[in-house]
Amino acid sequence: MIKGIEFSSGHYIMSNREGSCGGQTKNKKQVIAMEIKVKFEPEKIDVIIQLAIQEDIFTGDITTENLVPDNLMVEGVFLAKESGIIAGLPVVEYFFSKLDKNTFFKCWVQEGVFVRKGEIVAAIHGSAKALLSGERIALNFLQRLSGIATLTAQFVERIKPLKTAIMDTRKTIPGWRYLEKYAVAVGGGVNHRLGLYDHVLIKDNHLDILKNKLFYDVSPPLSIIEKAVSVLRQKIKKGILIEVETRTLEEVKDALAAGVDIILFDNMSIHLVNDAVKLVKEWKYDADKRRPLTEASGNITLENVHLVAQTGVDRISVGAVTHSAGALDISLEIS
Catalytic residues: 136, 171, 203, 245, 266
For residue 28, count other CB atoms closer than 10 A to its CB.
6
Pairing of strands 5-8, 11-14: antiparallel
- With CA atoms as reference, report the closest residue to 33 among 22, 45, 44, 18: 22
Say what angle helices 128-158 and 46-56 make with each other, to 10 degrees. 120
Which 8-state DSSP code applies to residue 325?
Answer: P
For residue 138, count other CB atoms closer than 10 A to its CB.
25
* Rounded Cα distance, 220 and 5, in Å: 74
Alpha-carbon 120 to chain mean position: 24
Which 8-state DSSP code applies to residue 111?
Answer: T
- With contact defined as beta carbons under 8 Å apart, do 241 and 199 qualify? yes
- Which ranges of the chain does DSSP label H, i.e. alpha helix? 46-56, 62-67, 89-99, 128-158, 177-186, 204-212, 224-235, 249-258, 270-282, 305-309, 320-323
The amino acid that residue 56 corresponds to is: D
* Residues 6 or more apart in contact with residue 224 via CB below 8 angstroms: 207, 210, 211, 216, 218, 254
SS3 label, residue 25: coil
First to last CA, the chain: 7
* Virtual torsion, Cα 85, 90, 93, 95, nearest 10 deg: -100
The count of residues in the chain is 335
Angle at 46 between CA 166 and CA 189, to 5 degrees: 5
